[in-house]
Amino acid sequence: MENITETFEQFEKLISKTHEIIKNCNNSNYDNIFTSISDTFYHENFHSDILCYILKNDDAKKEFVKWINQALNLKINFDIYKGGEVRREEKHRDITLYSKNKKNVIIVESKSNGANDRDKQILGYIETLEKCETNKINVDVVLYINKYSYKEPEHHNWNEQYNKYKNKILIATLLDKNSIAQLLDNIISNTNDKKIIGISLELKDLFSLIVKGKMREEMSKIRDIINASPIRKYFLEFLKYEDNFAYLFENEYFSDICAFKDDYNLKEIDRWDDKGRNVIYINFMKDNVLISIDIDFKKTLYSISVIPSSRKEKKNKENIDVYNKKVENLIKKYNIEYTSLRNITSERQRFCLIKKQSAFEKEELLYNLKKILDTLELKLNKKA
């Protein structure tokens, strides 16, 4: 760049061109049914919950067995699995499909987050069932799901056992060849169950979103525009530090948010950081429930949610459900619009009131927070 004026002119052109691509994109919070109901949609256990539900349907199970047979050149008889149980998290196995007489099983192990195997994990699953003295069960196949690659289960210390069992291990990915997406296509084409079709379509779409990301076509065009820009180097240098904005906003807005304690009945205001999320939280009591408001910063955006506070969270799921319901009733009582997100790992319900707004708009953020506190009737009654 010859001078700063030229740099800004080129920067303006770059922003204008990229804005033309994204200005008409759908800004709805709805991306996928599963992203809309859970903020843990990318977790392996979430995927397994849904896949387990689908495989309880015999039409889906039939396509599952056919798909396995074709991939591994096996002859597993679907009829023995028809009507058989499908269980989640039994003896640490993600999904276990039992034959009707419980003499045969198919095991599904998901590594769709790229998690590593525990020591002899898959071998342990097989031998626990096949070498049981009281109730031997034949493992027909193990479906081993990766996110991207066709990585084999860790088997460096299996000795000769891997050669014995490898022909009954089907390695698959979420997309592409030998993938769960391919299986879901087969299920969609060969069942009349509208519920299973709908769930399968959404799960396939979820896997595409997880692997490829959102707005793939638009982002591809934006990449090409950036690459062709004379200020490409400067712009990419700026993007490298985008994550640091979340720390900036958290630190600079903290004192302003703490000031709400002077006017509102709040127990605690504090903050925490974890894996790209920077959160300022406010704890308060309402209807005998300790509740939190989370102001969640991520890159240049913020969201505001109301959840049962983890301080009062019980390990008993029934108690957590009671707290979730009380918070939901509180929000409904004040006619506050929200999007419900369930955190599978803690079972707490997250009620998102403000989602993905620009954190540069400090006054707007503070106004939105004040509006929430006012609506929840948390203002202190100060005596003159």
Query: Strand 301-308's sheet: what is its strand order?
Result: 268-274, 277-286, 289-298, 301-308, 349-358, 339-342
pLDDT band at 28 (very low <50, low <70, confident <90, very high): very low
Residues 6+ apart with CB under 8 A from 84: 97, 98, 99, 100, 102
* DSSP secondary structure string for all residues of 37-59: H-TTTTSHHHHHHHHHHHHTSHH
Task: In whole angstroms, give the CA distance from residue 57 to residue 260.
Answer: 52
Of residues 33 and 318, more confidence is placed in 33
Q: Is residue 1's pLDDT more than 50? A: no
The secondary structure element, H or E, covering residue 284 is: strand 277-286
Return the bridge partners of 298, or none. 301
The encoded tokens of residue 329 equal 């009733």
pLDDT band at 316 (very low <50, low <70, confident <90, very high): low
Q: DSSP letter at 174?
A: S
Question: What digits encode the pLDDT tens for the residues 227-270?
Answer: 999 999 988 988 888 889 999 999 999 999 999 999 999 999 99
- The mean per-residue pLDDT over the stretch 111-132 comes to 88
The secondary structure element, H or E, covering residue 272 is: strand 268-274
pLDDT of residue 54: 96
pLDDT of residue 42: 67
Q: Dihedral angle at the C-alpha atoms of 201, 207, 209, 211, nearest 10 degrees?
A: -150
pLDDT of residue 7: 79
Question: What digits encode the pLDDT tens for the residues 195-209?
Answer: 999 999 999 988 888
pLDDT of residue 346: 58
Task: In whole angstroms, give the CA distance from residue 17 to residue 13.
Answer: 6
Q: Nearest-CA neighbor of 53 among 173, 199, 204?
A: 199
Is residue 309 a contact partner of residue 268, using CB atoms and an 8 Å limit?
no
